[in-house]
Amino acid sequence: MSQASQMLTRRPSLVTFAAIMMFVVAGFQIVFAFSEFFNATWLLSTTYGTFGGYLWLWGILDLLLAFIPLYAGYDLLQGGQFGFIVGIVISGFSAIRWFFYIPAAPFLAIVMIAVDILIIYGLVSSADYFRSSAAGM
């Protein structure tokens, strides 16, 4: 086995970072979903109100955006292609989704967008690892 193929069979540290960040994003999404289900008072007091009274819909969206990254993070740690694809897609959608919260919670929204961008960077920069693991199957 050549040195180049040995390097590709070991999980890159950026993939591990992306998997851990997927778990962090899922945790944030679950906590934020519970605050939306229970109509958090800090969100009600903003000038934008409860997004037209449909705050529970945002809570359901946050739960969906939480359980999918949990599995994707697990799959990333196993070297699966599903985690790679879903990690990029979910992080992209999550970053776009958090743009809607910038008026209501700017600090939280900017932090979540930054974490999503870091996940995408970690996965895309290690795409060779996933190509080699798919070819080895």
Residue extents of the structural domains in the chain: 13-130
Q: How far apart are CA 72 and CA 33, in angstroms?
A: 19
* DSSP label of 28: H
Q: How far apart are CA 57 and CA 94, in angstroms?
A: 15
pLDDT (average), residues 49-54: 58
Q: Give the chain's end-to-end CA distance (angstroms, integer).
A: 17
% residues pLDDT > 70 (the chain): 78
> What pLDDT sits at residue 63?
87
Encoded tokens for 132: 């080699």
How does residue 4 score in pLDDT terms, banded at 50, 70 and 90?
low
> What pLDDT sits at residue 114?
92
Question: What pTM was computed for the model?
Answer: 0.69
Q: How far apart are CA 64 and CA 79, in angstroms?
A: 23
% residues pLDDT > 90 (the chain): 21
pLDDT (average), residues 58-84: 87
